[in-house]
Amino acid sequence: MDGDLVDADLRAGVRDVSPLLLGIAPFGLVAGIAAVNAGLGLAEAVGMSVIVFAGASQLAAIELIGENAPLAVVIGTAVVINLRVVMYSASIAPHFADYGRKLRAGLAYLLTDQAYAISVAEFEENPGRSRWRYYLGAGGALWVVWQIGTVAGVVVGAGVPDAWGLTFAVPLVFLALLVPAMKDRPTTAAAVAAGAVTVVAGGLPLNLGLLTGAVSGIAVGLLTEVVGA
């Protein structure tokens, strides 16, 4: 009976995240194609996907690598874009407080926007869930699909002629992520400011335009939220 309950919690996580996998698969495909266009091989692209496992920052890092940006700029940009995960971790941490440090560290690796949102909503609605198993089902499914998408993108991208212009899919993916995130005044202000500063700062040395835009967007968003509070 207990085993059935455990399986049920794991399956529930996979089931609830399944509709979102339809969007994750092409996103991973684009990441793989972008990696090929940036000059990365299969092992490098997949290795990066496994270690980083962060869609938006991974794509940004790949773009900067393709432009021969300094390593410090690549890492700094990825860190700034992923700062939101700090807030996610602080929010979801109380739900995992009773688990050991090693288990919590493993769960942290799977933390994404989708896994966080689905898990927190489920924990509030159904306190009886095995939280780490449900979260593992959701986050693990996302991880598997992302890796498969990346590998497929590398394989497909290596055989696609440049004339097809598949690199244009990268900015389209970023737009698809951006628009739904502009839910209120602070997020909209942050997006507009980040975009404007990035364009203006596009000529900065060391490819610092993207990093400058990201930091500016965060600052404007926080300021707008404080002023409007």
The pLDDT tens digits of the residues spanning 193-224 come to 988 998 898 787 766 777 788 888 888 988 99
Q: pLDDT value at position 12?
A: 94
For residues 118-138, average pLDDT: 91
Is residue 34 within 8 A of residue 167, CB to CB? The reply is yes
81 with 151, same domain: the answer is yes
| 17 is a domain residue | yes
Distance between the two ends of the chain, CA-based, in angstroms? 50
| 134 is a domain residue | yes
Q: pLDDT value at position 217?
A: 85
27 with 133, same domain: the answer is yes
Q: pLDDT value at position 155?
A: 87
Q: pLDDT value at position 119?
A: 93
Last-in-domain residue among 138, 164, 190: 164
220 with 118, same domain: the answer is no
| 113 is a domain residue | yes
Decide if pLDDT at 228 tops 80. no
105 with 215, same domain: the answer is no
Lookup result for tokens 């993916």: 173
125 with 217, same domain: the answer is no
116 with 69, same domain: the answer is yes
pTM of the predicted model, to two decimals? 0.75
| 66 is a domain residue | yes
75 with 150, same domain: the answer is yes
Decide if pLDDT at 38 tops 70. yes
Q: pLDDT value at position 202?
A: 79
152 with 72, same domain: the answer is yes
160 with 186, same domain: the answer is no
| 173 is a domain residue | no
For residues 106-119, average pLDDT: 91
Q: pLDDT value at position 176?
A: 63
Q: Which is higher by pLDDT, 151 or 175? A: 151
What domain count does the chain have?
2
pLDDT band at 172 (very low <50, low <70, confident <90, very high): low
| 175 is a domain residue | no
159 with 186, same domain: the answer is no
| 108 is a domain residue | yes
Q: Domain range for residue 210?
A: 182-229
Last-in-domain residue among 164, 198, 221: 164
10 with 114, same domain: the answer is yes
Q: pLDDT value at position 1?
A: 43
Q: pLDDT value at position 171?
A: 65
159 with 219, same domain: the answer is no
